[in-house]
A and B are shown apart, each in its own frame.
Chain A
Amino acid sequence: MKTIAVIFGGRSTEHDVSIVTAIASIIKPLEVRGGYNIEPVYIAKDGAWYWDKKLKNIATFQSGEIEDFMRKAPRVQLSIDDGLTLIKSSQFAGRKQYQKIDIVFPAMHGTHGEDGELMGLLEMANVPYIGCGVAASAIAMDKVLAKQVTTSAGIASTPWVWFNAVDLERDLQGTLAKIETLKYPLFVKPAHLGSSIGITKVDAKEQLMNALEVATHYDDRVIVEQAVNNLVEVTLPILGNDDPTPAMLEQPLLKSEDFFDFETKYMQGGKKGGKKGGSSKHGSQGYSQIPADLPKDLYDDAVQTGLAVYHATGCAGIARVDMLIDSKTKKVMFNEINPMPGGLYSHNWNKAGISNVDLVEKLVQLAEERWKKSQKITTAFSTSYLKQF
Chain B
Amino acid sequence: MQVVVDSLLTNYTRSGSGKTVVVLHGWGDNIAGIAPFLKELSAKYDVVAMDVPGFGGTQAPATSWGLDDYAHFLQSFLTKLNIKPYVIIGHSNGGAIAIRALAHGLKTNKLVLLASAGVRGDNKRSVAVSKVITKVGKVLAKPLPKKTQRRLRSSVYSTLGSDMLVAEHMQETFKRIVADDVREDARTISQPTLLIYGQNDTSTPIQIGMTLQAAIATSKLEIIPDVGHMLPTDATDTITKMIMEFVG
A residues with a Cβ closer than 8 A to B are 64-65, 68, 71, 198, 200, 210, 213-214, 217-218, 263, 267-268
Determine whether the beta carbon of B1 is less than 8 Å from that of A217.
Answer: no
| Contact (A200, B2) CB under 8 Å given A214-B9, A217-B9 | yes
| Contact (A210, B146) CB under 8 Å given A198-B2, A200-B2, A217-B4 | no
Determine whether the beta carbon of B3 is less than 8 Å from that of A65.
Answer: no
Residues of A within 8 A of B146 (CB): 68, 71
Residues of B within 8 A of A263 (CB): 57
| Residue of B3, B32, B57, B145 with highest tally of chain A CB at under 10 A | B3
Contacting residue for B3 out of A213, A218, A267, CB 8 A: A213
Q: Is B150 part of the contact surface with A, judged by Cβ < 8 Å?
A: yes
Residues of A within 8 A of B9 (CB): 214, 217-218
Q: How far is the CB of B23 from chain A (nearest CB, A)?
A: 18
Chain B count of residues within 8 A CB distance of the other chain: 13
| Residue of B4, B80, B147 with highest tally of chain A CB at under 10 A | B4
Determine whether the beta carbon of B147 is less than 8 Å from that of A68.
Answer: yes
A-B contact pairs, 14 of them (CB 8 A): A64-B150, A65-B147, A68-B147, A198-B2, A200-B1, A210-B3, A210-B81, A213-B3, A213-B4, A214-B2, A214-B3, A214-B9, A218-B9, A263-B57
Residues of B within 8 A of A68 (CB): 145-147
| Residue of A64, A200, A217 with highest tally of chain B CB at under 10 A | A217
Residues of B within 8 A of A71 (CB): 146
Expressed in whole angstroms, the Cα–Cα distance for A258 and B217 within the complex equals 44
Expressed in whole angstroms, the Cα–Cα distance for A243 and B1 within the complex equals 41
Q: How far is the CB of B238 from chain A (nearest CB, A)?
A: 26
Residue of B nearest to A263 (CB): B57
Expressed in whole angstroms, the Cα–Cα distance for A217 and B57 within the complex equals 14
B residues with a Cβ closer than 8 A to A are 1-4, 9, 32, 57, 80-81, 145-147, 150
Residue of B nearest to A72 (CB): B146
Residues of B within 8 A of A214 (CB): 2-4, 9
12 A-B pairs besides A68-B147, A198-B2, A210-B81 with CB distance below 8 A are A64-B150, A65-B147, A71-B146, A200-B2, A213-B4, A214-B3, A214-B4, A214-B9, A217-B4, A217-B9, A263-B57, A268-B32
Determine whether the beta carbon of A210 is less than 8 Å from that of B150.
Answer: no
Expressed in whole angstroms, the Cα–Cα distance for A263 and B56 within the complex equals 11
Residues of A within 8 A of B2 (CB): 198, 200, 214
Residue of B nearest to A268 (CB): B32
Expressed in whole angstroms, the Cα–Cα distance for A213 and B6 within the complex equals 11
Residues of B within 8 A of A213 (CB): 3-4
Q: How far is the CB of B170 from chain A (nearest CB, A)?
A: 16
Residues of B within 8 A of A268 (CB): 32
Q: How far is the CB of A309 from chain B (nearest CB, A)?
A: 28
Expressed in whole angstroms, the Cα–Cα distance for A218 and B1 within the complex equals 15
| Residue of A71, A200, A210, A263 with highest tally of chain B CB at under 10 A | A210
Residues of A within 8 A of B1 (CB): 200
Q: How far is the CB of B158 from chain A (nearest CB, A)?
A: 15
Top 8 nearest A-B pairs (CB, nearest first) are A213-B4, A214-B2, A210-B3, A68-B146, A217-B4, A68-B147, A217-B9, A214-B4
Residues of B within 8 A of A65 (CB): 147
Q: How far is the CB of A258 from chain B (nearest CB, A)?
A: 12
Residues of A within 8 A of B57 (CB): 263
Expressed in whole angstroms, the Cα–Cα distance for A200 and B1 within the complex equals 7
Residues of A within 8 A of B80 (CB): 210
Q: How far is the CB of A178 from chain B (nearest CB, A)?
A: 21
Q: How far is the CB of A215 from chain B (nearest CB, A)?
A: 10
Residues of A within 8 A of B145 (CB): 68
| Residue of A71, A198, A213 with highest tally of chain B CB at under 10 A | A213
Q: How far is the CB of B2 from chain A (nearest CB, A)?
A: 5
Residues of B within 8 A of A210 (CB): 3-4, 80-81
Expressed in whole angstroms, the Cα–Cα distance for A17 and B70 within the complex equals 31
Residue of B nearest to A218 (CB): B9
Expressed in whole angstroms, the Cα–Cα distance for A366 and B177 within the complex equals 56
Residues of B within 8 A of A217 (CB): 4, 9
Q: How far is the CB of A252 from chain B (nearest CB, A)?
A: 19
Expressed in whole angstroms, the Cα–Cα distance for A71 and B149 within the complex equals 15
Residue of B nearest to A71 (CB): B146
Residues of A within 8 A of B150 (CB): 64
Expressed in whole angstroms, the Cα–Cα distance for A33 and B220 within the complex equals 67
Expressed in whole angstroms, the Cα–Cα distance for A286 and B146 within the complex equals 38
Residue of B nearest to A214 (CB): B2
Residues of B within 8 A of A218 (CB): 9
Q: How far is the CB of B128 from chain A (nearest CB, A)?
A: 30
Residue of A nearest to B11 (CB): A263
Q: How far is the CB of B29 from chain A (nearest CB, A)?
A: 15
Expressed in whole angstroms, the Cα–Cα distance for A325 and B1 within the complex equals 25
Residues of A within 8 A of B81 (CB): 210
Q: How far is the CB of A99 from chain B (nearest CB, A)?
A: 27
Expressed in whole angstroms, the Cα–Cα distance for A213 and B150 within the complex equals 39
Expressed in whole angstroms, the Cα–Cα distance for A210 and B82 within the complex equals 12
Q: How far is the CB of B141 from chain A (nearest CB, A)?
A: 15
Expressed in whole angstroms, the Cα–Cα distance for A214 and B9 within the complex equals 7
| Residue of B2, B9, B81 with highest tally of chain A CB at under 10 A | B2
